[in-house]
Amino acid sequence: MRIDILTLFPGMFGDFLGESIIKRAREKGKADIRLHNIRSYSTDKHRKADDRPFGGGPGMVLQVEPIYNALKKIVGAKRSTVILMSPRGKRLEQKQAKRFAKLKRLAIICGHYEGVDERVKELLVDYEISIGDYVLTCGELPAMVLVDAVVRLIPGVLGDGESTVSESFENDLLEYPQYTRPSSFCGMKVPDILLSGDHERIAAWRMKEAVKRTKKRRPDLLKKKE
C-alpha cells in the first residue's frame, strides 16, 4: 500500500515512521508512506497555506488551492482514496480500518486551525474521519492513529497471521484477559483453565470473558452485535 500524507508539519512523523510496526512494514515493502508539506504547493511567495475565514471569526482556515495542487501532483491520473482528518468526520472504527487496509493507495489530509476550506471536502475528499469526540491542536496525531490502525492490518505486516483475529473490536467484542509468566504474582494467580492445555475449554472461557468484559465496559457494542 502507498500512503501519501499531506501535512503542515512533516517533522512530527519522524519517530512514528521509524519505530515499531510501521518501521517493519516499510522495511518489508508492505507500506510506502510518503510525507508532503502542503506549503510546498502554495503559489504564495511566502508559501502561505492558510488565511482568515470569509465572514469573520477567530483563527485561520486551510486554503483549498495548495491542497488541490498537492493532490493533483501527487496522485495525478492514478486513483487514490482521499481522507480528511477532522473532528466533524465519522468516527474511525475497526471495520473501517479493515476496509482501508484492502486499498492500494490512500492520501491523508491533516486538518488544522479552525478547519479546512469546504471546497476541499466537496472537490477532493472521499472520507472525513475523526478518531473521537474531542478536538486536537492538529490533524497529524489523528493521521498517525489512522495509519497505525490500517498498516498493521495489511497481510504480512504482523508476524502472527492470527494476531488480529481475537483483538478488541473484532466481532464487536472487547478482547478477553491475557496473562503470561509468572503464573503467580503478588498473590494473584493466572486462572487454572489457561494452564490446563485444554484448548476447547480455553476458547470457551475466553469467549465468555470477552462477552462479560464487553457487557460491563461497552454495552453499546453488544447491542450492535445483536
pLDDT in tens, 101-129: 999 999 999 998 778 999 999 999 999 99
Give the pLDDT confidence score for residue 223 in this predicted structure.
Answer: 81
Say which amino acid occupies 124.
L
Distance CA(226)–CA(173), nearest Å, equals 11
Instruction: Name the band, by pLDDT with cuts 50, 70 and 90, for residue 78.
Output: confident
CB 108 within 8 A of CB 5: yes
- Phi, psi (deg, nearest 5) at residue 193: -60, -30
DSSP designation for 8: S
What is the maximal distance between C-alpha atoms in the chain?
A: 70
